[in-house]
Amino acid sequence: MENTIDLSLNDYLDQKESEIKNSLIATVYNVGKILKNVKTRLEGTDINFIEWVVKVGISPECARNYVKYYEINEQNCGKLQKLPIQLVIEYGKEDTTPELKEKVLKGEVKTAKALIEVKKENAKLKKELEKITPEVDELQNKYEKEKQEKSIISKRYDQLLEVTAQKDLILAQSNKRFEAEAEALLIDIVSFVNEKIPKIKHFLSKTDKEYQQERVEKFTSEISKTLELLIEV
């Protein structure tokens, strides 16, 4: 029986806590709206907005937070209106990244304290990243340089293969041309030799006496021709 009473009391307290928070949120929103309008109305006048706020009984810091809360909700179309006031104010600060804002909207970060801790952790990681960034950049530059050198070597190798292929083609064509010329020359030599062989054989078949007789006859013929020319004269 006691457990039931305790459970009912806990539910009651939770309900009232929720009602108080909602009332406070609504109050801060409405007060922030009023303060925003007053601040806008006092611009260009002799009345100082902060002095007026203090006169009303609100501290300058609270006034700034109320106005900020109202402005942030207006910028986000009221999406943050049910969130804790301090969380919303922390949400609106300049150091809150779009990624963190998205986590707040999704309910992954539920309190201002949690958001502040995440910011501190991110700042710590950022510093560590800044320390190793030069090393990373150096490694990246070295990698790019090696990649470029490998690319140059690859291109040179491809060029070498191309030149070698052209050389082999030229040599093959030269060898074919040389073989054709050599074959033609060999045919000419064989033809010449075949033409001269009968004459050589004929010359070698004659005796010395026959050779001398031919010379005498040739000489006698030349003399007769000369005498004929002299008689005609």
pLDDT band at residue 213 using 50, 70 and 90 as cut-offs = confident
* Residue 35 forms part of a structural domain: yes
Answer whether 29's CB lies under 8 Å from 73's CB. Answer: yes
Based on the domain organization, do 10 and 101 belong to the same domain? yes
Domain closes at, from 110, 143, 160? 110
Q: Is residue 73 part of a domain?
A: yes
173 inside domain: no
Of 78, 110, 142, which residue sits at a domain end?
A: 110
Is residue 90 domain-resident?
A: yes
CA 80 to CA 76: how far, in whole Å? 7
Task: Give Cβ neighbours of residue 31 (< 8 Å, ≥ 6 apart).
Answer: 58, 66
Q: The pTM is what?
A: 0.48
Q: Which has more confidence, 135 or 111?
A: 111
Whether residue 77 is contained in a domain is answered as yes
Full residue range of the structural domain in which residue 84 is found: 2-110
- What pLDDT does 189 receive? 67
The last residue of a domain, from among 67, 85, 110: 110
Tally of structural domains, the chain = 2
pLDDT for the residue numbered 173: 79
Residue 156 counted as domain residue: no
